[in-house]
């Protein structure tokens, strides 16, 4: 293991916003924070939004900056990646951000029924040929249902058409309510910057940088016009807009992960799918043609 990773792991232990359960604390048992995130971590009862596979945490942090009325938890198993987001949240005193280092398979041990309002799945491994490991499979949907509020939303943003179409098929197979769906979020001419979230924020924090003060008191960079793509117009007219509001639609285009900026720079379309998992009984695998979408 490299010295830089060891340094990050050591510093991770100093971040109060980063929770790192041991395996014996979550394997087959409930963690002490289960059902108490609002009280013990955030000190309030605001809605909790969880991002699964958050990587460096840029999406979690940006959403938290935009929505100080909600609490955000980024989940990932890679400590060296989480270090980036946890360090940023610590240095900028972001009180509505936390990070959780654990395997997503243990998620039920960490959240109680009705404790989470929304789930974001951003650029997850499509797990081609391994359905049980896929984050929108019947197995994982059953896990999410055990802690997601009734009417809670699952958002999937991905470069994988395979994962997008699989998730759409499983929603249709199980009669789940679809709020929004697009196979090309930005359209061909997005004009999207490939600069990373942290680079943008660092520039915005410079006194001379153009920008505006967010409700959290941290400078955020000025945002150029949103794309006039057909997908943008469709999302504004979708049920998602009536549930979440126009600001949430705008955030879909303005908030990007590190990997998303890389895919966009390569001309790879970004897909988006939002649905509710309210459903009685077991979830059923979809009847679809995986070979059509594998790449």
Q: Which of 45, 125, 202, 247 is catalytic?
A: 125
User: What is residue 295's DSSP assignment?
Assistant: -
Tokens of 75: 């989940």
End-to-end CA distance of the chain: 32
**Active site (annotated) includes residue 125:** yes
Smallest CA-to-CA distance from 166 within 118, 126, 121, 122 is with 126
Helices 246-254 & 58-66 angle (0-180, nearest 10): 150
Beta bridge partners of 122: 157
Cβ–Cβ under 8 Å, residues 82 and 99: yes
- Sign, CA dihedral 69-118-276-291, equals positive
CB 155 within 8 A of CB 120: yes
Q: Tokens for 74?
A: 């980024």
Q: Which of 144, 60, 147 is nearest to 98 (CA)?
A: 60
Give catalytic residues, as residue numbers: 125
């Amino acid at each position: 293991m490299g010295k830089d990773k060891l340094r990050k792991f050591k510093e991770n232990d100093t971040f109060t916003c980063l929770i790192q359960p041991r395996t014996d604390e979550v394997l087959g048992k409930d963690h002490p924070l289960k059902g108490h995130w609002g009280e013990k971590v955030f000190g309030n009862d605001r809605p909790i939004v969880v991002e699964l596979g958050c990587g460096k945490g840029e999406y979690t942090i940006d959403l938290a900056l935009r929505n100080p009325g909600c609490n955000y938890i980024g989940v990932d198993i890679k400590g060296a990646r989480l270090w980036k987001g946890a360090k940023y949240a610590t240095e900028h005193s972001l009180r509505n951000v936390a990070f959780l280092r654990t395997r997503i398979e243990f998620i039920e041990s960490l959240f109680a029924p009705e404790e989470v309002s929304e789930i974001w799945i951003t650029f997850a491994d499509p797990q081609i040929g391994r359905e049980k490991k896929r984050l929108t499979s019947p197995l994982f949907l059953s896990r999410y249902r055990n802690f997601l509020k009734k009417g809670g939303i699952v958002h999937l943003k991905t470069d994988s058409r395979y994962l997008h179409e699989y998730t759409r098929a499983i929603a249709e197979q199980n009669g789940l309510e679809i709020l929004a769906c697009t196979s090309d979020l930005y359209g061909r001419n997005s004009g999207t910057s490939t600069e990373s979230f942290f680079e943008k924020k660092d520039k915005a924090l410079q006194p001379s940088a153009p920008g505006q003060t967010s409700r959290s008191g941290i400078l955020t960079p000025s945002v150029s016009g949103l794309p006039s793509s057909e997908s943008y117009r469709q999302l504004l007219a979708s049920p998602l807009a009536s549930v979440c509001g126009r600001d949430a639609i705008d955030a879909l285009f303005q908030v990007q992960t590190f990997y998303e900026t890389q895919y966009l720079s390569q001309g790879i379309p970004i897909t988006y799918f939002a649905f509710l998992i309210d459903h009685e009984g077991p979830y059923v695998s979809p009847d679809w043609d995986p070979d059509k979408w594998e790449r």
